[in-house]
Amino acid sequence: MELNLLTFIYLIASVTFIVGLKMLSHPASARNGNRVAAVGMTLAILGTIFLYEEDGTRLGNYGWIFGGILIGTVVGTLAAKRVKMTAMPEMVSLFNGMGGACAALISLVEFDHLAHLDPVMAGVLLMANAAGALKGFLLIIVIGLVIGSVSFAGSIIAWGKLNGSIKDFSFKGQHLFNILLLGIIVALASYLIIFLPANAIFIFYTIFFLSLLYGIFFVFPIGGADMPVVISLLNSFTGVAAACGGFLYENKVMLTGGILVGAAGTLLTILMCKAMNRSLTNVLIGSFGGGSKVGTAAGTAVGTHKEISLSDTAVLMSYAAKVYIVPGYGLAVAQAQHACHELEKLLESKGVDVKYAIHPVAGRMPGHMNVLLAEADVPYEKLLEMEQANEEFSTTDVVLILGANDVVNPAAKSDTSSPIYGMPILDVELAKHVIVNKRSMKPGYAGIENELFFRPKTSMLFGDAKKVLQDLVAEIKNL
Per-residue pLDDT tens digits for 204-227: 999 999 999 999 999 988 876 677
pLDDT over 70 at 125, yes or no: no
Higher pLDDT, 320 or 161: 320
d(CA 220, CA 168): 6
pLDDT over 50 at 254, yes or no: yes
Q: Is the dihedral of CA 267, 271, 272, 273 positive or negative?
A: positive
Give pLDDT, residue 241.
95
pLDDT, the chain, mean: 87
**Are the C-beta atoms of residues 106 and 238 closer than 8 Å to each other?**
no
pLDDT over 50 at 119, yes or no: no
* pLDDT single digits (tens) 224-240: 667 778 888 999 999 99
Summarize the confidence of residues 289-294 as an average pLDDT: 42
What residue spans of 376-464 are helical by DSSP H? 386-392, 411-414
Quick one: residue 377, left, alpha or beta (phi over 0 = left, psi -120 to 50 = alpha)? left
pLDDT over 50 at 294, yes or no: no
* pLDDT single digits (tens) 407-457: 999 988 888 887 778 888 999 999 999 999 998 887 766 567 898 999 999
Give pLDDT, residue 406.
85
Q: Which of 52, 211, 94, 192 is nearest to 144 (CA)?
A: 211
Give pLDDT, residue 75.
93
pLDDT band at 177 (very low <50, low <70, confident <90, very high): very high
Higher pLDDT, 234 or 274: 234
| One-letter amino acid of 40 | G
Percent of the chain with pLDDT over 90: 56
Give pLDDT, residue 277.
73
* Active site residue ranges: 406
What residues have CB less than 8 Å from 144, skipping those under 6 apart?
103, 104, 106, 107, 241, 244, 245, 248
Give pLDDT, residue 26.
78
**Are the C-beta atoms of residues 236 and 269 closer than 8 Å to each other?**
yes
Give pLDDT, residue 41.
95
Higher pLDDT, 135 or 209: 209
Give pLDDT, residue 226.
75
pLDDT over 50 at 394, yes or no: yes
20-29, 181-190, 274-283 — which is least confidently predicted? 274-283
156-170, 203-217, 278-292, 304-318 — which is least confidently predicted? 278-292
* pLDDT single digits (tens) 74-99: 999 999 888 887 788 888 899 999 99
Report which secondary-structure segment, H or E, holds 199. none
Strands (DSSP E) found in 253-351: 322-327
Question: What is the tally of helices (H) and strands (E) in the chain?
Answer: 17, 8
Q: Is 67 exposed, middle or buried (0-12, 13-18, 19+ CB in 10 A)?
A: exposed
Higher pLDDT, 418 or 311: 311
At the fourth CATH level, which superfamily is domain 310-478?
A: TPP-binding domain (3.40.50.1220)
pLDDT over 60 at 297, yes or no: no
Summarize the confidence of residues 379-386 as an average pLDDT: 91
